[in-house]
Structure 1
Amino acid sequence: MSNSFPNARKWAVLEILIIVLLALVPLFTTFPYRVNIFLSWEGAYRLSSGQVPFKDYGSPLGYGFWIIPALFFKLFGPQMITLVKAQVFINIIAGLSFRSILKTLHVTPGVRLLSVLVFVMSYSFFNFWPWYNHTVIVYELVAISFLLRAFFAEGKGGRYLLIALAALFVFLSLFTKQDGGGMALMLCLALLAYNSLETRRWLDIPVFLVLFVVIAALFIVPLMPGFAYWFNHGQAPHSSRLALNDFTDEIMGGSNWIKIYVLLAALCLFAGVKQWGAFIHERREVLFALLTLGVLGEAAIFQVTSYTPPDNNIFFHSFAFAFIASWLCRLLSVPLRTGSSLALATVLILFWWSGTWWKYIGRYTDRLFPVKEAVYAPNDSTHENVVSRRNYMVNTDTTDVPVSQWTFSRLPVFHKIYMPAPTVAGIDRVMALPVVQQKRDNIKVLNMTELTPLAAAMPFKLETGQDYPLWYHLGVGMFNRQLAAFKEKVRTHHYDVVLYEYAPTLNNFFPFTLRGELQQHYQLVDSFLAPRRPTNAMIEVYVAEGAPRPVTDAFLHKVDTLR
């Protein structure tokens, strides 16, 4: 019996199973509240409610990121767990697009299978929540997959349709995040330039650009004039927040993975290419090289322009692996068509990327093999003071709540999402506030916290307006003009309830000066931990002067009833 996999359908089934099955894992688990996920929720909620971006609210980003989550809110409701379902879909699209790219470039089945595994383990498997720094790359992958298929399509009609789809998804990438989308556009133009040079199909470039401009106009013109103020293209009050030293320090002082991949790719080319004059005309080989080097260059820039979280740019691993493995297998005559060779390679890849899956296995090993806690007893003469890797630093944070002690809220919008117990208790107290109970139908709330789903849970109507920000990070999501408007509303007691998150270690994540206005013109009736780790932020609850304040016994009874 043969131990090889000669059937193309078997390869396709294996690759698609890897992509789909690992993407479905999040549907069967629960999640801690994710830092910054409030932005994903509110943008999707507003869009799914029929609000028009740049007319009903403003954002320095386009709304490309929120299209898929908003669609899922329409289908499954605005629970936070719906965002996870949306990300499952996004991860499947990302994996299929990456596979399509490798298939168009004629990457051998064994290398393609392993590359898909690297892509899923390094970029998709741990991405449970939608975030614009991930979605911008997914749209780019879809665009590149269509563009490469267009290069080898038969007939003008089919080719131009694929080019149109590529232009659409390049625009959606740009309309999700300017930096990643702009680099996606440049990379696609570079691939188009080479392919046009080789095929003499010079019309492809202007067709792509015209389609891109037309698609952009169809999206943007109806959003004017608010779009011109909000969308950040370097105009005031926006700023680039970048400096040349940021790039040189990050790339020259770090970026070790990117630099070693560039070195290995160069070595493969120099070792494998015997006649450069002939090689330059091998379209698929050159396109593969251009794409790989382009992705590595994009990742080097992206880590500076999108610096948080620090692993935004790890999409480059799978492209570099596919390129280098293809050349090494060819140069070293490594067979990757047998079950034993693929099994060994799979084990090695899983070992390489064990950090993405071991944290889940580690939960069980910690229970099977519990570690004896080291003793910290500097003033106890009867015990030695044991210092280990688990306690060599003294934790002075008295507010920290370990994730193992987090719990679930009763509110449907937080289904399957656990938070610190003080946060859950604080949410219950907010829901039980007399002013919330009395003005349930027309309460005015300003929610400057990460608990944006309270808009659906309470519920209250979100404010709208061309000058109203989607989020409140001063200098990023809103500016002095909006700050002045909020100050005036606070001074005139426009809101019945204001929820303000005080995060002293984050630079105006919620405007500090507005807190002073609240302390002067509103009554602070409660405060509790924000749903984040480290627990370095507090949510403060303010009610307008003269509003009924919670009476201790009745208030606590109401909280118990709601629970």
Structure 2
Amino acid sequence: MDELKTGKHIRLYAKLELAIILLLAIIPLFTSFPYRVNIFLSWEGAYRLSQGQVPYRDFGMPLGYMYWVIPAVFFKVFGTQMITLVKAQVLINIISGFAFRSILKSLNVQPGVRLLSVILYCLSYSFFNFWPWYNHTVIVYEMAGLAFLLHYIAKGGKQWIFLSLSALFTFFSFFTKQDGGGLALLICLFLLAYDCYTNKKWKPLLIFSLSYMVIALVIILPLTRYNFGYWFNHGQPPHTSRISLFEIADEFFMNSQWIKFYLFIILLLILINFKTTKELFVNKSDTLFLMITFGVLVEAAILQVTSYTPPDNNIFFHSFAIAFILSQLSKHLHLDFNKPRILTVGCLGLSLWWSGVFWKYFQRIAERVIPGTSVSQNSTENIVNRKTYIIHPPANDIPESEWTFTGLSSFKKIYMPKATAQGIQRILNMDMVKTRKGSLKVLNMSELTPLAVEMGYQLEKGPEIPLWYHLGVAMFNKQAVQYENKIKANEYDLVIFEYVPTLNNFYPFRVRDTLINYYQKIDSFPAPRRGDTQGTIEIFTPKPIH
């Protein structure tokens, strides 16, 4: 009877895993969003690909183009509205969750532990990512590559196609972003080399390596006729490298508290559960689990330096570490997480740990029920507490209560400061925009990239045109000089420039200086930004000829 109940519970847990992955992925489809900072480059890359433009021929970027492929397909199917990016992210999050679940299944993780780990993965990593971002997509492709590789290993090496599929997605990871993709390849090679060593067969490693190289050649060789080497050659002049062993070590030892904590706990578990080094390699699943967990923790320690924005883009390591720790504890302490009582305690623990995910939705209600300390405006009493002991300068943020929808198709379900929406409308009401639709030459150095659709102007194309304009990251002085020369020659009828003084050349300051000297500023309005990176969108036209 107990075995029958356990079997029912395990089947229920499997269904719950799938339901949680799907439910948390589709929630963004039913809501509206404030304008997302930096999402402009996701839109423009997907838009250019959906229009048939070829990377490195029609535009350049210091990454591979795989990040934009899924959003571009969604643009073709659902249209080029910015909200389509959210729809694309739904699929990306579903792939991510299923891949992580598949990894745990291949490692024979106890169903109860697997359910807890999937919940943690979705809460701590997937659910936050409503919008696609390359620092997230690179990991999703990595998860898919690891899932196929471990599925091959779990099946006893009988289905070679999974090795090639693993190589395919691992290359997709590299061709999304070099740092995460390169580390993904090393982890895969590390795991596969161990499997080959234990089986005394090296053919799988050869198949994986050859598959990876063939896929890389098929994708990269057609691009070499363009300016691929200049854009992708990251880390050599005129590019700068983000890899610094000192910075990685400094960040690890000065911060990285969670990563160091997990490494400490894992080391203790190894000492407890394995008496000799030889025992460590007896159970293949345990060894693979340890290797992948250690590899993910090392990857997270490196990515927090090389991919520093957003600051939490590496927190996928929590799920692997907790899954390994709970699996080892279940064996050592004889805990059966398949039992509903223990599983319920685990779920409550996760909810408490990651309460910030849902607390912000209940915060306003709780404030009414449990009011905090406040100071009456009519009171002359000086009250000093944790919220008032520091005198902050007045915030310049436009309150979200003053944000609104634009009424434009490209910004459907996206709201932004009313002043920004009004500024956009003023641009669209300009005589030149109304009368010269399709022939207007526009330089849009702002994050309002969907204006290309609303205004109907053609995007510049060419091997020297960067996808976005962050000087030293996505473009270089060579491109800045070219834009300055075009401005001096009055080649643009209209220039939209975003000035963000606190960000280092996020839009090139030198180009703005040239604009001020050779063009006239006819309008300005707030950029859809908040916090310390607020900016101003400035509208320039050529100076009249006297």
TM range (shorter): over 0.9
Preserved contact between residue 40 and residue 66 of structure 1 (Cα < 8 Å):
yes
C-alpha deviation, 1:226, in angstroms: 1.0
Q: How many residues align?
A: 541
In the superposition, relative to structure 1, how do residues 281 and 110 fare at CA in structure 2: closer, same or farther (>3 Å)? same
Q: 1:482 aligns with which of 479, 484, 487?
A: 479
Deviates more, 1:526-535 or 1:257-266: 526-535
> 2:64 aligns to what?
62
C-alpha deviation, 1:333, in angstroms: 1.4
C-alpha deviation, 1:369, in angstroms: 5.8
Preserved contact between residue 110 and residue 338 of structure 2 (Cα < 8 Å):
no
> 1:349 aligns to what?
350
> 1:551 aligns to what?
none
Q: Letter of the 2:69 partner, please give it.
A: I
Preserved contact between residue 445 and residue 497 of structure 1 (Cα < 8 Å):
yes
Preserved contact between residue 57 and residue 227 of structure 2 (Cα < 8 Å):
yes
Q: Letter of the 2:152 partner, please give it.
A: A
Q: 2:457 aligns with which of 450, 457, 460?
A: 460
Q: Distance in 2 between matches of 1:241 and 1:331?
A: 42
Q: Letter of the 1:502 partner, please give it.
A: Y
Deviation track 1:183-229 (CA, whole Å, cap 9, x = no partner) reads 00001010011000001120111211111111011111111131111
> 2:384 aligns to what?
387
Q: Distance in 2 between matches of 1:186 and 1:496?
A: 49
Deviation track 1:127-181 (CA, whole Å, cap 9, x = no partner) reads 101101111011000000000111133565x2x2101000011101000111000
Preserved contact between residue 101 and residue 114 of structure 2 (Cα < 8 Å):
yes
**SS in structure 1 at match of 2:191:** helix
Q: Where does structure 1 lack aligned partners over 5 or more consecutive residues? A: 548-563
Q: Distance in 2 between matches of 1:421 and 1:391?
A: 30
> 2:306 aligns to what?
305
Q: Distance in 2 between matches of 1:527 and 1:44?
A: 28
Question: Is the counterpart of residue 20 in structure 1 residue 34 in structure 2?
Answer: no
Q: Distance in 2 between matches of 1:315 and 1:81?
A: 25
> 2:31 aligns to what?
29
Q: Letter of the 2:126 partner, please give it.
A: S
After TM superposition, the structure 1 = structure 2 runs for residues 209-288 of structure 1, keeping only pairs within 5 Å, are 209-224=209-224, 225-288=226-289
Preserved contact between residue 503 and residue 509 of structure 1 (Cα < 8 Å):
yes
Q: Distance in 2 between matches of 1:347 and 1:192?
A: 37
In the superposition, relative to structure 1, how do residues 421 and 213 fare at CA in structure 2: closer, same or farther (>3 Å)? same
Preserved contact between residue 237 and residue 479 of structure 1 (Cα < 8 Å):
yes
> 2:291 aligns to what?
290
In the superposition, relative to structure 1, how do residues 323 and 483 fare at CA in structure 2: closer, same or farther (>3 Å)? same
Deviates more, 1:175-184 or 1:222-231: 222-231
Q: 1:530 aligns with which of 514, 527, 532?
A: 527
In the superposition, relative to structure 1, how do residues 349 and 148 fare at CA in structure 2: closer, same or farther (>3 Å)? same
Q: Letter of the 1:232 partner, please give it.
A: N
> 2:315 aligns to what?
314
After TM superposition, the structure 1 = structure 2 runs for residues 112-123 of structure 1, keeping only pairs within 5 Å, are 112-123=114-125
**SS in structure 1 at match of 2:520:** strand
Q: Distance in 1 between matches of 2:78 and 2:368?
A: 36
> 1:39 aligns to what?
41
Q: 2:155 aligns with which of 149, 153, 156?
A: 153
Preserved contact between residue 500 and residue 539 of structure 1 (Cα < 8 Å):
yes
TM-score by length of 1: 0.93
Deviation track 1:472-506 (CA, whole Å, cap 9, x = no partner) reads 00110001111111001101111111000011111
In the superposition, relative to structure 1, how do residues 396 and 376 fare at CA in structure 2: closer, same or farther (>3 Å)? farther
> 1:496 aligns to what?
493
Q: Distance in 2 between matches of 1:222 and 1:364?
A: 57
C-alpha deviation, 1:458, in angstroms: 1.5
Question: Is the counterpart of residue 401 in structure 1 residue 398 in structure 2?
Answer: yes
Preserved contact between residue 95 and residue 140 of structure 2 (Cα < 8 Å):
yes
- Identical columns (%): 52
In the superposition, relative to structure 1, how do residues 477 and 376 fare at CA in structure 2: closer, same or farther (>3 Å)? farther
C-alpha deviation, 1:279, in angstroms: 3.6
Preserved contact between residue 446 and residue 495 of structure 1 (Cα < 8 Å):
yes
> 1:540 aligns to what?
538
> 2:191 aligns to what?
191
C-alpha deviation, 1:365, in angstroms: 3.5
Q: Distance in 1 between matches of 2:424 and 2:391?
A: 31
Q: Distance in 2 between matches of 1:368 and 1:435?
A: 55
Q: Distance in 2 between matches of 1:394 and 1:414?
A: 37
Q: Distance in 1 between matches of 2:153 and 2:354?
A: 34
> 1:554 aligns to what?
none
In the superposition, relative to structure 1, how do residues 211 and 271 fare at CA in structure 2: closer, same or farther (>3 Å)? same
Q: Letter of the 1:491 partner, please give it.
A: K
Preserved contact between residue 376 and residue 386 of structure 1 (Cα < 8 Å):
no
C-alpha deviation, 1:338, in angstroms: 2.3
**SS in structure 1 at match of 2:236:** coil
Deviation track 1:394-428 (CA, whole Å, cap 9, x = no partner) reads 44346321223311111111111111111111111
After TM superposition, the structure 1 = structure 2 runs for residues 168-179 of structure 1, keeping only pairs within 5 Å, are 168-179=168-179
Question: Is the counterpart of residue 505 in structure 1 residue 529 in structure 2?
Answer: no
Q: Distance in 1 between matches of 2:466 and 2:285?
A: 46
Q: Distance in 1 between matches of 2:313 and 2:123?
A: 14
Preserved contact between residue 444 and residue 495 of structure 2 (Cα < 8 Å):
yes
> 1:136 aligns to what?
138
> 1:76 aligns to what?
78
C-alpha deviation, 1:376, in angstroms: 7.5
Q: Distance in 1 between matches of 2:375 and 2:499?
A: 35
> 1:10 aligns to what?
12
In the superposition, relative to structure 1, how do residues 444 and 388 fare at CA in structure 2: closer, same or farther (>3 Å)? farther
Preserved contact between residue 198 and residue 281 of structure 1 (Cα < 8 Å):
no
Q: Distance in 2 between matches of 1:71 and 1:390?
A: 47
**SS in structure 1 at match of 2:7:** coil
In the superposition, relative to structure 1, how do residues 237 and 49 fare at CA in structure 2: closer, same or farther (>3 Å)? same
> 1:361 aligns to what?
362
Q: Letter of the 1:486 partner, please give it.
A: Y
Deviation track 1:497-547 (CA, whole Å, cap 9, x = no partner) reads 100001111111101011111111111111010001126210001112239
Q: Distance in 2 between matches of 1:187 and 1:206?
A: 16
Q: Distance in 1 between matches of 2:450 and 2:489?
A: 26
> 2:341 aligns to what?
340
C-alpha deviation, 1:357, in angstroms: 2.0
C-alpha deviation, 1:339, in angstroms: 2.1
> 1:447 aligns to what?
444
> 1:421 aligns to what?
418
C-alpha deviation, 1:10, in angstroms: 2.0
C-alpha deviation, 1:81, in angstroms: 0.8
> 1:558 aligns to what?
none
Q: Distance in 2 between matches of 1:92 and 1:251?
A: 31
Q: Distance in 2 between matches of 1:493 and 1:505?
A: 29
C-alpha deviation, 1:4, in angstroms: 4.6
Q: Distance in 2 between matches of 1:290 and 1:155?
A: 19
Deviates more, 1:325-334 or 1:233-242: 233-242
In the superposition, relative to structure 1, how do residues 402 and 367 fare at CA in structure 2: closer, same or farther (>3 Å)? farther
Preserved contact between residue 438 and residue 458 of structure 2 (Cα < 8 Å):
no
In the superposition, relative to structure 1, how do residues 50 and 373 fare at CA in structure 2: closer, same or farther (>3 Å)? farther
Q: Letter of the 2:350 partner, please give it.
A: I
Q: Letter of the 1:217 partner, please give it.
A: L
Q: Letter of the 2:187 partner, please give it.
A: L
